[in-house]
Amino acid sequence: MPTLHTADLVVPVSSPPIPNGAVVVDGETITAVGRLDELSAAHPVAEVTHWDGTLVPGLVNAHTHLQYTSFATVGASRHASYVHWSEAFVQEYDLRRGEDWGTTARAGIEQGLRAGVTAYGDVVTDVAAMTALSDSGVAGVAYYEIIGVPQEQWQDEVKDRVTAILTSTPTSAEFRVGLSPHTPYTVDEPVLIDAADLARRLGVRLHVHLAEVDSEDDYYRTGTGPLVERIMMRVGRPWSVVARGGSGMGAAEYARHCGLLGPDSHMAHGVYVDEAGREILDDAGTYVALCPRSNLTVGGQPPPIADYLREHRRIAVGTDSLGSSQSLDLLEDVSLLAELAADGGYDLPDLEERLLHAATLGGAAALGLEDVVGSLEPGKRADFAVFAVGSVPDLVTEGSGTCVATVTGGGTRWRG
């Protein structure tokens, strides 16, 4: 028997909000979305569940590292600089070697469900966390990460291991795998190029951190700046782009040169990119997952959200991990983006609608799952959340902490 979920306001995202709206769910799938009076007449035998508040598609956290959910002490407060933060992070990671990363990642998913998050772009450093999303019945892409791998090691051993992980992890319509070279400065250029090629041959998605750090541009352009020393310290020699005195290209152009951009790829952060850089990303069909709280925590600037909006770029939203953020509540980042957009002079009335789009359908598109999740449409997976607010602007500016129910695949996962 189908279930008719009704709410004071239903926001499909892919179409205008519906006061006194309803969503019909059969099994794991949405079969109809519309006005309550029409849908109840069309489905007289459906079981009816009424929710007080605003019902929206499950939120998509397009960039996080769920296995670092136990790193909250590192992400609790702001660090003086990226290097300071990075040292604190590495220290914590060394202390936690051998942790049961799958359990930690699943704990993060439980936190997300309480905040209406039902899908993830999750970067996985330790393979034990690779199936956390599918084990927990939430949608998303688990991106296996490669970091600090010299070319010889990649060819001799790592490439085969990565291939085995990506081809042996079970996938489904809503759960996929991908490959995440950490950043273009922590992975050597020949490995970046070959990893991008490998992802395409295996038909999996790509994801990198890009333009998160203010000195990244100098690193790619001229092979100089504090990141050079940082890499030398970790790997004992400069990567090839530094050894040849830089590429002459900025972050976005260098990422394109390495084959990292495309409609099958999305970036995290995109803070230190100018209009030309943003255009390169957008022309390639690449979404950017903006993570403003994380950027502030690691001692950086927030992303130029007003510019992203004015230029109509492809954007999504992420929390990043608890190693650089204070919670996995995506609406905290959404409300901060709204504030930053206003501070940046963005004053059009579509602000909240566009930010909700970024946190739902934008995130789904960033993960290549826009046909499966991200909006309320017949045929899509029945993933949605209800918040105790009366409108989209209220949801965007003060929705954090107001989630009253979260449903994934038609099943209620959390009730507040």
Positions touching Zn ion (CB under 5 A) are 320
Closer to Zn ion by Cβ: residue 18 or 252: 252
Instruction: For residue 364, give both structure tokens.
Output: 């789904």
Beta strands in 129-210 (DSSP E): 139-146, 175-181, 205-210
Closer to Zn ion by Cβ: residue 194 or 320: 320
Q: In the complex, what is the shortest distance from the CB of residue 255 to Zn ion, in angstroms, rounded to a whole number?
A: 15
The separation between CA 38 and the C-alpha centre of its own chain, rounded to angstroms, equals 36
Instruction: For residue 402, give both structure tokens.
Output: 């107001």
Q: In the complex, what is the shortest distance from the CB of residue 266 to Zn ion, in angstroms, rounded to a whole number?
A: 12
Q: In the complex, what is the shortest distance from the CB of residue 127 to Zn ion, in angstroms, rounded to a whole number?
A: 18
Distance CA(45)–CA(57), nearest Å, equals 24
Closer to Zn ion by Cβ: residue 199 or 322: 322
Distance CA(188)–CA(2), nearest Å, equals 53
Closer to Zn ion by Cβ: residue 231 or 392: 231
Residue closest to Zn ion, measured at CB? 320
Beta strands 139-146 and 175-181, pairing class: parallel
Q: In the complex, what is the shortest distance from the CB of residue 247 to Zn ion, in angstroms, rounded to a whole number?
A: 23
Q: In the complex, what is the shortest distance from the CB of residue 224 to Zn ion, in angstroms, rounded to a whole number?
A: 24
Closer to Zn ion by Cβ: residue 294 or 402: 294
Q: Which amino acid is at 195?
A: A
CA-CA distances (angstroms) from residue 145 to 122, 124, 166, 257, 274?
10, 6, 11, 20, 27
Q: Which ranges of 298-388 does DSSP label H, i.e. alpha helix?
A: 305-310, 330-343, 351-357, 363-366
Question: What is the 3-state secondary structure of 279-341?
Answer: HHHHHCCCEEEECHHHHHHCCCCCCCHHHHHHCCCCEEECCCCCCCCCCCCHHHHHHHHHHHH
Distance CA(143)–CA(396), nearest Å, equals 28
Closer to Zn ion by Cβ: residue 320 or 332: 320
Q: In the complex, what is the shortest distance from the CB of residue 40 to Zn ion, in angstroms, rounded to a whole number?
A: 44
Q: In the complex, what is the shortest distance from the CB of residue 320 to Zn ion, in angstroms, rounded to a whole number?
A: 5
Closer to Zn ion by Cβ: residue 169 or 294: 294
